[in-house]
Structure 1
Amino acid sequence: MTTQTTTPQTPAKDTAGANTGLVAIPPHIGRALATGGGVLTVVSAFLAWTWTSAFPGDLTVYGYPGGLQVLVLIGGALTALFGLASYGVKGLRWLAPAGADSAIKLAALAAFATTWYTIAAMSAQLGGLANLEPGGWIAGIATLTALLGALSLPFERPAPDPFDPDDSSWEQFRHKARHQRTVVKAAFAAGTSKPARELPAFAEILVIVAALTLGLIVFTYGIGTEYDELFVGFLVTAGFGFAAAAKAGLVNRVSALTSKHRTVTMVGAFAAAAAFPFTQSDDQYATIGVYILIFATVALGLNIVVGLAGLLDLGYVAFLGVGAYTAAMVSGSPSSPFDLQLPFWASALLGAAVAMVFGVLIGAPTLRLRGDYLAIVTLGFGEIFRITVLNMDGTSGPDITNGSNGISSIPNLNILGFDFGQEHSFGGFTIARFANYFLLMLLITLVVVVVFRRSSDSRIGRAWIAIREDETAALAMGINGFRVKLIAFALGAALAGLAGSVQAHVTYTVTPEQYQFAHVVPPNSAFLLAAVVLGGMGTISGPLVGAALLYLIPAKLQFLGDYQLFAFGLALVLLMRFRPEGLIPNRRRQLEFHEEAEAPTVLSKAGA
């Protein structure tokens, strides 16, 4: 009897025993070409790519990368770093715990795609390839060489299962033990005597701080792209760069560190987010930031309903509208039928409470339904809410919401003498209106994150997960399914109403058109559900990242005109095809879509 063993790092081989890739180049030569091409790409970014400054970004300066050259430099640097890590360079092995070959391919593809997109854009705008300087040609040849070398590298087995911070202590212990065995096998397969040693605690915290700082830099750069070509290049580089880091196992390694130091991570994440307004010279991009936070907070509330309890709610944006209209009516607006101006904390609590009441009223008669039937009912509720507030104009119904004109002239918030509509200076930094609301919304987001975390770790949270996985089995085990689902529905509605109370003051006006199922500008029910699925159902960071992308990308793709939604939809289709579990999934959902990731472990224990 023989035992068949398979490790995640064992490269594929053909019948002759040689490593195989997409390009017929020996892997050791291909690895050298990829690494050398990455280095040459970095050098080319410091050369002039064109002779005229008519192309945005000013690519005419020697020794100073500008515009898209910075993105190409990043792609080339990633290719070179992963290439050196594949050679076992001391200090760089930590970057690729799951193997560097797949990461080299994606990093080289990022540099190649951004470079040749830039060349094509310059040719189209300037009138042909004759407008390129030698630096542009060097960059094109270098990235092509690196890509060909990367494509000669062998394909790899699936990487180890990602670390899931939502696992129980016993599940985390089993996963850590299995991960250590995998790393040891990979180290011997790569010819090294031992894997990269673990870092001391202070170094792990420094890695977390570096990761959060990098996230802030990437977000600030993406939100501040000044022209269309630069944003497209940013999407290409950021997308392939993240995929390369994930393939190398670096994302899983950082996720394990953040779970180990959870308190440090949470404090650091919100400190990095709070620093965002101070990185802006005006209020232009802080405006986008506050809307992203509103969208993300509502998506996180929907994640309780969809991600934890498994209830498909297509009318969730109506609860945002309930909170917004409630806060607008009691905040001193001249359009409000009530001559009342409550302090913010009272209007926010009232908006959350009224939304929760609506959640109970809607959920009580409908939550006995399942699946598509529940989705249709919630979709109907969303439309009923919009039509109702539209008709409360004094003509078709009572004069409460002012009909299609909505409630306007909502005054700025004033909390303890702090006017959110005025500029304020802190330590030499001046923040304007939307930056003030960004910091307020960040506190609201923190409250929602704490509620989500506490709820998911509680007894009711485990009941939600049981209902999501198999409602029939959960009912057989004694879980009161109706009560559990109603609590999820009410809590999700309350969190949406809380965010809506801030949205009313940020936008100055609430109108029925803002709360449709599908609307050009998010948040709406379709985009909220997409943010949860895209980011990763059942996680905290997933919906936050998904909401940021789903708000930022349409705002930056307006230059596509009528093709904007087509390009956006195509990107979602491709993402769901290649990563259906979401950008930041938990381990349970990833195994649902990629069960073959467990195959090597099973085969290693099988006997023939």
Structure 2
Amino acid sequence: MTTQTSAPQTPSTPSAGTPTGLIGIPPRIGRALATGGGILTVISTFLAWTWTAAFPGDLTVYGYPGGLQVLVLIGGALTTLFGLASYGVKGLRWLVPAGADSAIKLAALAAFATAWYTIIAISTKLGGVVNLEPGGWIVAIATLATLLGALSLPFNRPEPDPIDPEDTGWEQFRHNARHTVSVVKAALATGTTTPARKLPAYAEILIIVAALAIGLTVFTYGIGTEYDELFVGFLITAGFGFAAIAKTGLVGRISAITAKHRNVTMIGAFVAAAAFPFTQSDDRYATIGVYILIFATVALGLNIVVGLAGLLDLGYVAFLGVGAYTAAMVSGSPSSPFDIQLPFWASALLGGAVAMVFGVIIGAPTLRLRGDYLAIVTLGFGEIFRIAVLNLDGTSGPDITNGSNGISSIPNLNILGFDFGQEHSIAGFTIARFANYFLLMLVITLVVVVVFRRSSDSRIGRAWIAIREDETAALAMGINGFRVKLIAFALGATLAGLAGTVQAHVTYTVTPEQYQFAHVVPPNSAFLLAAVVLGGMGTISGPLVGAALLYLIPAKLQFLGNYQLFAFGLALVLLMRFRPEGLIPNRRRQLEFHEDAEAPTVLSKAGV
């Protein structure tokens, strides 16, 4: 009896667990194609893309990128940089501690999406592809080749062990999460990810300075986009570019460095923000900047209530209104019923104190409620405040707030002889009214950041976090839950009232409709809560970034008309789908949403 042995079969498709890409190009060729395509993309931005200057940005110049070409240049440069790092080029491996393949995909997608958006916009606005110069065709082909090469790179995701079909959905989820953690640990053990090399202190400080300089440059560029197409391209490049950098692990590495040098980071961020008005040639964008700071400061105060203490407050904007109305009444305005004009420091303290009193009055009877019930009560308080100031017009009630007309003609601040309503020259730079208020609001923001940081690091801050995580367990450990929550409510209200005192002088007029739950123009309670969740609950920088985006994006999307809120809402849905923990999450919150994340040795109390 003979046994017939079959010849070994060569599989036509990769076996389970073999790293593969989305298309059939070998990864070695794909990596070379992506890197070479990135270089060609960079070169193409120095060519003319169209023959006429009718398209904004003047893309007719050879040798000098302009407008949307600059954004495509950035996408191509990132793709090239990550591609060279994937080859192990000395000095670049530090930039990709978690590997470069995923970052190459996203960077290539940034260049491709921005370039093809520009080509389509040129063809649509000028009347066809005949308006493209050779540079336009080259960049279209180069970015397409780059994307194809990037998509051929492997996804290093081995197949998990078979799942028991009798397991519940939660057990299957836990099974997949454990498998993902084992993959991460295996990658760390085999050296797939690059361990952080210990750097001297001066080098880490230089990295912080560079990161802050890049952040200031990106913010200044985004806020100063001159036309609609450029802002859309900026959103595409910034979104995919940030995602690519995050995939490399570089964001986490820099976050660890900033956490190590928190004081240096805070001072550097303050200096970078203070430099913003001096980068502007007029007061146009400083106007947006000061409103962003007001919005961000109030969001940071709300972060104490929502992010640290876990209390859902839907009427928080009312405390901003309390501070604004208080300052307006004692500012010397002819519409004020009180014939008094206090100095700014006195009106600021008074506005914060009155807001704190309202916070205690509202919080004392309601903070024994939890969850949805507390949210409903705070939402009711916000509406009660708006209706009350609307009716205090001398007809429906006492003449205190001047009803729907509000308190108008609020004079500009004058602190130690410095008139905030006049232009001033500082170090050869001329700054106007809104730039003056921007610098003042920056000081207020710094005060709020210090209060938030010291509070979160204190004993009461630990109690807030304990209440947020599990109130029943915190009460069992001896924490006075009601007192702790009332302190959070009062402190958050005080910070909002402090910001409101500046807002009253910036806007000249305070009216009831400014403090609705969902007013068209932020800040309002809905946008404030969204800024905290979008940026990252429980962190310092998260609400600041979230508030900046939530104010800047609607202001720049006005050209969409009736579709503005639709596009804005769609962007929020996508962001919450792919990054539910927020843009700059607290480490604890990141672990809640991503069980595959590597647990840190020490969990920070509040992120920077």
Q: Same fold judged by TM-score > 0.5?
A: yes
Q: Is 1:438 matched with 2:401?
A: no
Deviation at 1:16?
6.5
Deviation at 1:198?
2.5
Which structure exhibits the higher relative contact order, with contacts defined as CA atoms closer than 8 Å and separated by 6 or more residues?
1
Distance of aligned partners of 1:444 and 1:397 in 2 relative to their CA distance in 1, 3 Å threshold: same
Given that 1:352 and 1:498 are in contact with CA atoms closer than 8 Å, whether structure 2 keeps it comes out as yes
In 2, the alpha carbon distance for the partners of 1:195 and 1:315 equals: 46
Deviation at 1:595?
1.2
Distance of aligned partners of 1:156 and 1:499 in 2 relative to their CA distance in 1, 3 Å threshold: farther
In 1, the alpha carbon distance for the partners of 2:156 and 2:511 equals: 53
Given that 1:184 and 1:195 are in contact with CA atoms closer than 8 Å, whether structure 2 keeps it comes out as no
CA deviation map 1:170-199 (0-9, x unaligned): xxxxxxxxx9x9899548545x9x856332
Partner SS state of residue 430, structure 1? strand
Structure 1, gaps ≥5 residues long: 1-12, 159-178, 602-608
Partner SS state of residue 425, structure 1? strand
Given that 1:102 and 1:156 are in contact with CA atoms closer than 8 Å, whether structure 2 keeps it comes out as no
Determine the structure 2 residue equivalent to 1:220. 220
Determine the structure 1 residue equivalent to 2:102. 102
User: Residue type of the partner of 2:88?
Assistant: G
Deviation at 1:596?
3.0
User: Residue type of the partner of 2:118?
Assistant: T
User: Residue type of the partner of 1:307?
Assistant: G
Determine the structure 2 residue equivalent to 1:24. 24
Distance of aligned partners of 1:275 and 1:435 in 2 relative to their CA distance in 1, 3 Å threshold: same
Determine the structure 1 residue equivalent to 2:55. 55
TM-score relative to the length of structure 1: 0.91
Q: Is 1:239 matched with 2:236?
A: no
In 1, the alpha carbon distance for the partners of 2:153 and 2:85 equals: 14
In 2, the alpha carbon distance for the partners of 1:325 and 1:18 equals: 65
Partner SS state of residue 596, structure 1? coil
Structure 2, gaps ≥5 residues long: 1-12, 159-180, 602-608
Q: Is 1:335 matched with 2:346?
A: no
In 2, the alpha carbon distance for the partners of 1:362 and 1:64 equals: 60
In 1, the alpha carbon distance for the partners of 2:506 and 2:482 equals: 36
Q: Is 1:203 matched with 2:203?
A: yes
Given that 2:19 and 2:156 are in contact with CA atoms closer than 8 Å, whether structure 1 keeps it comes out as no
CA deviation map 1:467-491 (0-9, x unaligned): 1001111111111110000000000
User: Residue type of the partner of 1:426?
Assistant: I
Given that 1:93 and 1:196 are in contact with CA atoms closer than 8 Å, whether structure 2 keeps it comes out as no
Given that 2:223 and 2:552 are in contact with CA atoms closer than 8 Å, whether structure 1 keeps it comes out as yes
Aligned 1:382-531 pairs, distance under 5 A: 382-531=382-531
In 1, the alpha carbon distance for the partners of 2:186 and 2:598 equals: 17
Given that 1:452 and 1:540 are in contact with CA atoms closer than 8 Å, whether structure 2 keeps it comes out as yes
Deviation at 1:154?
1.4
Determine the structure 2 residue equivalent to 1:164. none
Deviation at 1:427?
1.1
Determine the structure 2 residue equivalent to 1:309. 309
User: Residue type of the partner of 1:572?
Assistant: L
Deviation at 1:156?
3.9
In 1, the alpha carbon distance for the partners of 2:16 and 2:541 equals: 46
User: Residue type of the partner of 2:534?
Assistant: L
Deviation at 1:575?
0.4
Deviation at 1:90?
0.2
Determine the structure 1 residue equivalent to 2:375. 375
The farther-off stretch of 489-498 and 196-205 is 196-205
TM-score relative to the length of structure 2: 0.91
Determine the structure 1 residue equivalent to 2:42. 42
CA deviation map 1:438-493 (0-9, x unaligned): 00000000000000000000010000001100111111111111000000000000
Determine the structure 2 residue equivalent to 1:564. 564
In 2, the alpha carbon distance for the partners of 1:60 and 1:183 equals: 51
In 2, the alpha carbon distance for the partners of 1:577 and 1:226 equals: 31
Distance of aligned partners of 1:137 and 1:76 in 2 relative to their CA distance in 1, 3 Å threshold: same
User: Residue type of the partner of 2:127?
Assistant: G
In 1, the alpha carbon distance for the partners of 2:424 and 2:14 equals: 67
Given that 2:17 and 2:157 are in contact with CA atoms closer than 8 Å, whether structure 1 keeps it comes out as no
Given that 2:20 and 2:156 are in contact with CA atoms closer than 8 Å, whether structure 1 keeps it comes out as no
In 2, the alpha carbon distance for the partners of 1:407 and 1:156 equals: 62
CA deviation map 1:49-74 (0-9, x unaligned): 00000000000000000000000000
Distance of aligned partners of 1:156 and 1:447 in 2 relative to their CA distance in 1, 3 Å threshold: farther
Distance of aligned partners of 1:216 and 1:35 in 2 relative to their CA distance in 1, 3 Å threshold: same
In 2, the alpha carbon distance for the partners of 1:283 and 1:431 equals: 7
In 2, the alpha carbon distance for the partners of 1:253 and 1:62 equals: 39
Given that 1:19 and 1:27 are in contact with CA atoms closer than 8 Å, whether structure 2 keeps it comes out as no
Given that 1:187 and 1:195 are in contact with CA atoms closer than 8 Å, whether structure 2 keeps it comes out as no
User: Residue type of the partner of 1:477?
Assistant: M
Q: Is 1:140 matched with 2:140?
A: yes
Given that 2:45 and 2:72 are in contact with CA atoms closer than 8 Å, whether structure 1 keeps it comes out as yes
In 1, the alpha carbon distance for the partners of 2:485 and 2:134 equals: 64
Partner SS state of residue 53, structure 2? coil
Q: Is 1:362 matched with 2:362?
A: yes
The farther-off stretch of 299-308 and 256-265 is 256-265
In 2, the alpha carbon distance for the partners of 1:207 and 1:184 equals: 29
Given that 2:49 and 2:133 are in contact with CA atoms closer than 8 Å, whether structure 1 keeps it comes out as yes
Partner SS state of residue 597, structure 1? coil
Deviation at 1:25?
1.0
Given that 1:105 and 1:147 are in contact with CA atoms closer than 8 Å, whether structure 2 keeps it comes out as yes
CA deviation map 1:350-382 (0-9, x unaligned): 000000000000000000000000000000000
Deviation at 1:21?
1.0
Q: Is 1:283 matched with 2:283?
A: yes
User: Residue type of the partner of 2:396?
Assistant: S
Given that 2:516 and 2:524 are in contact with CA atoms closer than 8 Å, whether structure 1 keeps it comes out as yes
User: Residue type of the partner of 1:465?
Assistant: I
Determine the structure 1 residue equivalent to 2:581. 581
RMSD: 1.8
Determine the structure 1 residue equivalent to 2:116. 116
In 1, the alpha carbon distance for the partners of 2:304 and 2:419 equals: 33
Determine the structure 2 residue equivalent to 1:249. 249
Deviation at 1:98?
0.6
